[in-house]
Structure 1
Amino acid sequence: MKFDLDTAWKDTTSLLTRNLGLLAVIAGVFFFIPYAGIAIALPGMGELETAQASGNVDAMMAAVTDLYKTYWWVFLIIAILQGIGLLSMLALVRRRANPTVGEALSTGLRSVPSYIAAQLLQTALIAIIAALLVGIGAVTGVSALAALGGIIAFVVICYVVVKLSLAAPIIAIEGELNPVKVLRRSWALTRGNSVRLFFFYLLLLVAFIVLSAVISLVLGLAFAFAGEQAALFGDAVVSGIVNAAMIIAMVCVMAAVHTQLSRFASHGLAGAED
């Protein structure tokens, strides 16, 4: 049986409707506050925004590099906090025992090391693939082969990301803490449905980008009329809200996809290897 986009979307909206209040609270604590706090309070964000506004790619990359070099520990703490928040939200919406918020947070705290390890393994795999495919074309000295290698690398990386996209729900919902087994389980669950999943994710991503751009533009203009400082504060708040909303939607999507594919696997209905 193949992955059904309509069923996944209905399950996503159902999860969102039933759990919006609790998800919004957790997303606010673990995503909105850290994201908006960095944008408002972290020194160096002003230089980054100036570089972005200038359109100078070199200046923007230099500002990003300086920011991460100086405040890497801040971003590490936030990454850990957001990992806990993500896993807690997944546990909250799909754990069969209907956990309390405290129990869901405990699940997130306990399983975040496994999540970080799985993310590091995935990142290493993607880096190796990119280096091999791009490097092979680059060493030939032929620009056409280098470009082709880059295109192939992009396609393969998209495939790998889709195949491993269920790592977080496997950890939070199934309770699997071995990062290698987590990635193998995600690869197995998505078997035969990678293309459908890719287009489902892509459609949702495009829709969210358009919607968030409109919201950011409208609210950004409203804050801009209040002055430069108000505009900077408003941009941080709006960006934080958009980021939290994206996480809430992503959690419900991942939980819905995981549920449908797990149901296929439990009945032996997964498609052939793609």
Structure 2
Amino acid sequence: MKLNYMECWNGAMVILRDHKEAILAIVGVFVFLPTLLMAQFVGQPPLEGAADLNAITAAYSTFFSENAVPVILSNLLISFGGFAIFLTVAPSHNGTVAENLGTARRLFLIFLVANILTGLVTFAGLMLLIIPGLYVACRLILVPIIIADHGERNPITALKESWNNTIGNGFSILLLVLMIAILSAITVAVIQMIVGVVTGLATGGAGWPLIDNLVSALGGAAVQVLITVIIASIYYELTGKGSEVDEVFR
């Protein structure tokens, strides 16, 4: 089955509409809050004066060594939240938020291992050229929702199923994800710029870091939710989950 962009987008909006309360609850606790706390209390690596790749690498290395615990914990929480959203929107699940969180907890290690394997395969593709790496990543993009939908406990099987389900659609998925990522990044950057200008004018140039961090965290959470429901919609469309794809997306 060839990926239809309009059907995929409409399906994502249906998924978002049907699960918005559960998604908002999960993303608020496990994505937005950790992101905001990290931005407010830990911040970013100091890159001022870092003129080359070695200096930037050193800055990130120092930052991570000094903040390893909060960085790891926040990323684990955000990853857990993302996986819980996949469970919420998976066609085989219709449980409560608490039930989905419990299932996510039991499958989270499998999800992490599968992500590591996906990263390794993608990295191997990137070593060849950028495009092959991105292509491989898009062929394996369905791994999280396959684990969520099937309760799959073998990461290798999840990778194989994603690869099989995306046959003939690797570059179509790549183009779709790139378009959404670029448009989302531009939108968030424009909103952040506008908020920065307003807070700067209101405070005589000092700005309000909490407001800036709040907007940044909200933007990041919104983009993650959008990408997640797009991936879920791709899965619905390419696998024909339900009885008929048009019935699933009506």
CA 1:183 to 1:227, structure 2 compared with 1: closer, same or farther past 3 Å? farther
Q: Is the 8 A contact 1:87 1:111 kept in 2?
A: no
What is the aligned partner in structure 1 of residue 248 from structure 2? Answer: none
1-side partners of 2:148 and 2:198: how far apart? 39
What is the aligned partner in structure 2 of residue 101 from structure 1? Answer: 97
* Percent identical: 24
What is the aligned partner in structure 1 of residue 157 from structure 2? Answer: 181
1:208 aligns with 2:204: no
Give the CA RMSD over aligned residues. 2.2
1:261 aligns with 2:238: yes
Provide, for residues 34-59 of structure 1, a one-character-per-residue CA deviation record: whole Å limited to 9, x for no partner: 111111112xx36x3x525x573454
2-side partners of 1:38 and 1:229: how far apart? 21
**Rg bigger for which structure?**
1
| Structure 1 counterpart SS, 2:181 | helix
The CA deviation at 1:155 is 1.1
For 1:216-235, list aligned pairs within 5 A: 216-225=192-201, 226=203, 230-235=207-212
Q: 1:118 aligned to 80, 94, 114, which one?
A: 114
Unaligned runs of 5+ in 2: 245-250
What's the TM-score once normalised by structure 1's chain length?
0.80
CA 1:57 to 1:33, structure 2 compared with 1: closer, same or farther past 3 Å? farther
1:79 aligns with 2:75: yes
2-side partners of 1:154 and 1:253: how far apart? 23
What is the aligned partner in structure 2 of residue 168 from structure 1? Answer: 144
CA 1:248 to 1:129, structure 2 compared with 1: closer, same or farther past 3 Å? closer
2-side partners of 1:230 and 1:34: how far apart? 22
Q: Is the 8 A contact 1:80 1:112 kept in 2?
A: no
Unaligned runs of 5+ in 1: 134-152, 268-274
The CA deviation at 1:238 is 1.4
Displaced runs of 4+ in structure 1, greater than 6 A? none
1:158 aligns with 2:153: no
2-side partners of 1:203 and 1:129: how far apart? 21
| Structure 1 counterpart SS, 2:19 | helix
What is the aligned partner in structure 2 of residue 26 from structure 1? Answer: 26
2-side partners of 1:236 and 1:57: how far apart? 27
| Structure 1 counterpart SS, 2:92 | coil
| Structure 1 counterpart SS, 2:168 | coil
1-side partners of 2:92 and 2:149: how far apart? 9
Provide, for residues 182-221 of structure 1, a one-character-per-residue CA deviation record: whole Å limited to 9, x for no partner: 1111111101111211111111112111211111111122
CA 1:82 to 1:214, structure 2 compared with 1: closer, same or farther past 3 Å? same
2-side partners of 1:26 and 1:227: how far apart? 37
What is the aligned partner in structure 1 of residue 51 from structure 2? Answer: 56
Provide, for residues 158-187 of structure 1, a one-character-per-residue CA deviation record: whole Å limited to 9, x for no partner: 111101111111111221121111111111
2-side partners of 1:92 and 1:83: how far apart? 14
Provide, for residues 215-237 of structure 1, a one-character-per-residue CA deviation record: whole Å limited to 9, x for no partner: 11111222323367653222221
Q: Is the 8 A contact 2:92 2:150 kept in 1?
A: no
What is the aligned partner in structure 2 of residue 37 from structure 1? Answer: 37
What's the TM-score once normalised by structure 2's chain length?
0.87
What is the aligned partner in structure 2 of residue 7 from structure 1? Answer: 7
Aligned pair count reads: 241
Letter in 2 for 1:168: P
The CA deviation at 1:76 is 2.0
Provide, for residues 234-268 of structure 1, a one-character-per-residue CA deviation record: whole Å limited to 9, x for no partner: 2221111111101111121111111111118x99x
